Copies of this chain bind each other. A is one copy, B any other.
Amino acid sequence: MQVLKTIEELQEIRKSINGSVGFVPTMGALHNGHISLIKKAREENDIVIVSIFVNPTQFLPTEDLDAYPRKDEADKRICQMCKVDYVFMPEISTMYSQEEVLVKAPNKSYILEGKTRPGHFDGVLRVVLKLFNLVQPTNAYFGKKDAQQLSLITQMVKDFFMPINIIPCEIIREDDGLALSSRNIYLDSTQRHEALLISKSLYMAGSLISKGERDVQKVKDKIYEIMQTLEVEYVAIVNREFDEITVIEPKNTIILVVARFGNTRLLDNIWL
């Protein structure tokens, strides 16, 4: 495994690759969720490239950029174990300069995460566009946990005619159901226990729907009921295009919840 720091190294390596390239862009602090993406990339491609870059442009000024967990050495060991070929770990000044051409998420993305974190997706799309142009992956792997992000990246690739397959990957959970997140380490033991209500509410919603419930409001009521002791930021039920719906469409519905634990926001969702 080779660790690349500069644009020039990465571009040179990329030119020398002939087979398929699987790409897993990350912000580091790798957990089993990331590992599942890397393993899938490893199975499906000749070469696997992982990027580790805590992207400043996707954090709002009030957010946890400086506190975001950095675990470079552990991350490299994990990549090595997963038989990654190249890890790209650039500095901020390698990725960004002053007064750049920008990417702007569509207006319709200013709901849910886009509403709570205005500008966040502009930063996500901007860095992903840069990374895609550098890595030129055949296949790029993203978790379904960041569902709205996944939807927008898929849209960008389509709108910009980028010859890249976006591969959505299942959410990985702890044995007790908590969706894995690099931000879970911020939870104290009480919060960690309370956080189980998030996935529980989604399971119950899924169960209601499998029994035939199609009324979005009734499903939402059930979710809020289960999470009533939590600080719930939103519960949303959307179709695959992220339009809010009033009637559940089986096979085309995503249920998303966000709850706050102090300064920590936890996201979770299920795809029906």
Question: Which residue from B11, B101, B156 sits with its C-beta under 8 Å from A101?
Answer: B156
**A66 lies within 8 A of chain B by Cβ:** no
Task: State how many angstroms separate the Cβ of A102 from the closest Cβ of chain B.
Answer: 4
A-B contact pairs, 16 of them (CB 8 A): A11-B161, A11-B163, A99-B106, A100-B106, A100-B159, A101-B104, A101-B105, A101-B156, A101-B160, A102-B104, A102-B106, A103-B104, A104-B104, A129-B160, A130-B159, A133-B161
Determine which of B100, B152, B159 lies in contact with A97 in the assembled complex, contact meaning CB atoms within 8 Å.
Answer: B159
Given B7, B101, B104, B161, which contacts A152 in the complex, CB threshold below 8 Å? B101
Instruction: Work out how many copies of this chain go into the complex.
Output: 2
Interface string of A9-33 (1 = CB under 8 A from B): 0010000000000000000000000
**Which chain B residues border A161 with CB–CB below 8 Å?**
7, 11, 130, 133-134
Residues of B within 8 A of A160 (CB): 101, 129-130, 133
Determine the interface band of chain A, counting residues with CB < 8 A from chain B. 20 to 34
- Asked if A103 and B106 make an inter-chain contact with CB atoms under 8 angstroms apart, the answer reads no
Query: In the complex the two chains form, is A133's CB within 8 Å of B162's CB?
Result: yes
- Among residues of B, the one whose C-beta sits closest to the C-beta of A134 is B161
What is the bound-complex CA distance between A106 and B104, given in angstroms? 12
Q: Is A251 an interface residue (CB 8 A)?
A: no
Task: Name A's B-contacting residues (CB within 8 A).
Answer: 7, 11, 97, 99-108, 125, 129-130, 133-134, 136, 152, 155-156, 159-163
Residue numbers in B under 8 Å from A11 (CB-CB): 161, 163
CB-CB nearest in chain B for A100? B159
Residues on B with beta carbons closer than 8 Å to the beta carbon of A163? 11, 133, 136
| Besides the known contacts A101-B103, A101-B106, 18 further A-B residue pairs in the complex with CB atoms under 8 A apart | A97-B159, A99-B107, A100-B106, A100-B155, A100-B159, A101-B104, A101-B105, A101-B125, A102-B105, A103-B103, A103-B104, A130-B160, A130-B161, A133-B160, A133-B162, A133-B163, A134-B161, A136-B163
